[in-house]
A and B are shown apart, each in its own frame.
Chain A
Amino acid sequence: MKKRSQISEIWRRLKRNKMAMFGLIILLIIVVLAIFAGKIFDYEEVVVKQNIAERLDGPSMQHWLGCDEFGRDILARLVYGSRVSLIVGVVSIAMAMGIGGTIGAVAGYYGGKIDNVIMRIMDVFLAMPSILLAICIVAALGTSLLNLIFAIGVSFIPQFARVVRAQVLSVKDEEFVEAARAIGSKDSTIILREIIPNCMAQIIVQATLSVASAILSTAGLSFIGLGIAPPAPEWGSMLAGGRIYIRDAVHLTLFPGLAIVITILALNLLGDGLRDALDPRLKQ
């Protein structure tokens, strides 16, 4: 019998999915560019310094994607802006996963009154449009990277609570959980060592797709001015800034828009691919 570790088995299945690999490669390019942004473009010179002479210039050999309303190189700003999107996206979702996951696991495992109370509270949060919730929090606490992460993270907590609770419910009645009780495991041990590892598949898929949503929310908040303060580049605020020039200098809005679309698309493709690869039922 061929012995394969579970991770290599999942990787093998994922590799076969061309669209998912495409998404993964795009994401890797974005991440690499974000990490090495400093080496490619000097922040002060190219990203922030205004250069009125070149304002609204279209794409050229010097500026591959053209310049914005302050003459700043759009490509450089996009690459630096990706840092914000990625950081906010990943960290906010990680926070939501941790908090929401714990809430959902406790609700699902114990059931009864605890489940009821917790989930009704989550329902209250879910009843609010998530962007509205994020707006309220940022408006109250002020615009900073940390607050942005917090606001968006909070808005995703109920979703994760729901997903994890559903997973826990489906796993907790399996015989191996009963077996864990029979050998004397405590509840916390059972949840952490037996149940959660078996829910990871769905959680990872949900996380990947949520990061896409979070990036969109980040852009949205910045668009209405509740994101990162200028002159720091962010895709949403770039869209906002280029809005009035949309008729004559469409590249100001086109390229940030494309950046958002491509990133979200890549994350969605990867997320779908992960869902298929992690689903044990597809194993022949």
Chain B
Amino acid sequence: MEENKYILEVKNLKKHFSTSKGMLHAADDISFNIEKGKILGVVGESGCGKSTTGRAILRLHEPTSGDVLFEGESILKCNKTQMRNKRKDMQMIFQDPFSSLNPRKTVSEIIGEPLRLHGIIKNKKEREEKVAELMRLVGLADRLINAYPHELDGGRRQRIGIARALALEPKFIVCDEPVSALDVSIQAQILNLLKKLQAERNLTYMFITHDLSVVNYFSDDIAVMYLGKLVEKTSSEELFANPTHPYTQALLSAITIPSLEKKKERIILKGEISSPINPKPGCRFAPRCNYATDICFKESPELREFKKDHFLACHNFGK
């Protein structure tokens, strides 16, 4: 039996929220695949829908339409019990190390909860041993086993979150801005830890971030999102060498580089990001695009593979 090389296939995923002002299109028509053992970085600025997409894939938000296939099986068709089972394979690491841990639980209780819930290790003593093993794996000292989150700093708390995500031995982890809330020196520690774990356990990551230099370092492939749409997707090398979508070009030119080398001319985007509520027809980026033409305001561009493994949603570029 041929094993599906894609561990995750997202097809035309949509997530809309109904608000008093109208329908908020948080994610529209998102399609991409992730190969087993690879890291897909998803980047974009606030309001682009990257966090919503990550949560919709795990059904923490119920998708409005579209499909998500995990190892070839649709998870949207699963009922509650089947979904609970699937969750053992698909986990999440959250952004805020302060609010993603229950303040009333100890480190041991937080990491051990997934094991207790799924009845994987019923014996309390055995569970504690497994928790200790996980703590060592993520670099947490043994003596912290009964500590409370508020006694620890952001870096250690994030390690707890990682240990919790690994407890069920998942195959796929959505990392939602896992290092954005941490100091620079701790960021590097956590990124190295995540990379090490990925290599050791052949994990697949969906790495959501707004930090372009981090995503370049960390991911194999990158997907760029703008206002709920996927505008460009390709390998990290290709994206930085040949950014094709006008938004990607502006985004990359905006990065602040810690060096005194002569910097490239910065592309300053005109205007502000438009509202995701009841979006007008046409390309969502058109109002700010320096290259927009008539068709851009009428028709929404489809995501096409214009070069091998390089996807683009634009009327004017990538021919």
Contact = CB atoms under 8 A, between A and B. Distances in A.
Please indicate which of the listed interface residues A4, A184, A197 has the most CB atoms of chain B within 10 Å of its own CB: A184
A189 B117 contact: yes
A199 B196 CA distance: 38
Nearest to A173: B99
Given A6-B148, A197-B104, A180 B113 contact: yes
B94 A175 contact: yes
B60 A182 contact: yes
Interface in A237-284: 280, 283
A182 B151 contact: no
A174 interface: yes
Contacts of A176: 99-103
B87 A175 contact: no
Contacts of A183: 87, 91, 113-114, 117, 164, 167-168
Interface in B126-180: 146-148, 150-152, 161, 164, 167-168
Given A1-B151, A174-B99, A179-B94, A184 B104 contact: no
Nearest to B80: A186
B102 A197 contact: yes
Contacts of A186: 84
B118 A184 contact: yes
B8 interface: no
Contacts of A175: 94-96, 99-100
A6 B104 contact: yes
Contacts, number: 71
A182 to B, nearest CB: 5
Nearest to A189: B117
Nearest to B58: A182
A246 B161 CA distance: 67
A198 B104 contact: yes
Contacts of A179: 92, 94, 100-101, 161, 164
Nearest to A185: B117
A7 to B, nearest CB: 11
B88 interface: yes
A175 B150 CA distance: 15
Nearest to B174: A182
Interface in A1-56: 1, 3-6
Interface residues of A, number: 25
A198 B114 contact: no
B147 A182 contact: no
Interface string B72-102: 0000000000011101100110111001111
B113 A182 contact: no
Interface string B55-70: 1001010000000000
B103 A198 contact: yes
B114 A184 contact: yes
Contact of A184 (B88, B147, B148, B151): B88
A3 B60 contact: no
Contacts of A5: 148
A123 interface: no
Given A6-B104, A175-B100, A198-B103, A184 B87 contact: yes
A186 B80 CA distance: 9
Contacts of A283: 150
A194 B102 contact: yes
A120 B79 CA distance: 33
Given A176-B99, A184-B88, A280 B117 contact: no
A197 B117 CA distance: 18
A174 B97 CA distance: 12
A193 B117 CA distance: 11
Contacts of B168: 183
Contacts of A182: 58, 60, 87, 91-92
A201 to B, nearest CB: 10
B102 A184 contact: no
Nearest to A199: B104
Interface of B: 55, 58, 60, 83-85, 87-88, 91-92, 94-96, 99-105, 113-114, 117-118, 146-148, 150-152, 161, 164, 167-168
21 contacts: A1-B147, A1-B152, A5-B148, A6-B104, A174-B99, A175-B94, A175-B99, A175-B100, A176-B101, A178-B60, A181-B60, A182-B60, A182-B87, A183-B87, A183-B117, A184-B83, A184-B117, A185-B113, A198-B102, A280-B150, A283-B150
5 closest A-B pairs (Cβ-Cβ)?
A175-B100, A184-B87, A183-B114, A197-B104, A184-B84
Interface of A: 1, 3-6, 174-176, 178-186, 189, 193-194, 197-198, 200, 280, 283
